[in-house]
Amino acid sequence: MEGCLFCRIVSGEIPSNKVYEDDQVYAFYDVAPQAPVHFLVVPKKHIASLSEATEEDQALLGHILLVIKDIAAELGLDDGYRVVANTGSDGGQTVMHLHFHVLGKRSLIWPPG
């Protein structure tokens, strides 16, 4: 989608610190990390938010979660990590491209902010 920040990162138009890439997803470190390990995983297919995902996206969404698990293991997040998908303005979503934050290497409180 033209002008989408994450589409521009996935295409390489905007540089990022890549963690992982395959034909379906792209993962990169957050530019304003909220934990010692904080990366984002985005589908290469533009989906504005989780609320706009369809049945057609089921396999992609499952793939994203397995990629998150594998990256977390690679990065040594053995004591746990948090996966967050902000959805819509009340959910704190600021970039309208589905993305999953993965935070680890510190104790995270509940409930979050």
Catalytic residue annotation? 99
Mention every residue, 6+ apart, whose C-beta is less than 8 A from residue 76.
Answer: 105
Give the residue among 10, 40, 6 at the shortest CA–CA distance from 22.
Answer: 10
96 neighbors 49 (Cβ within 8 angstroms): yes
Is the preceding peptide bond at 33 cis, omega within 30 degrees of 0?
no
Q: How far apart are CA 77 and CA 95, in angstroms?
A: 26
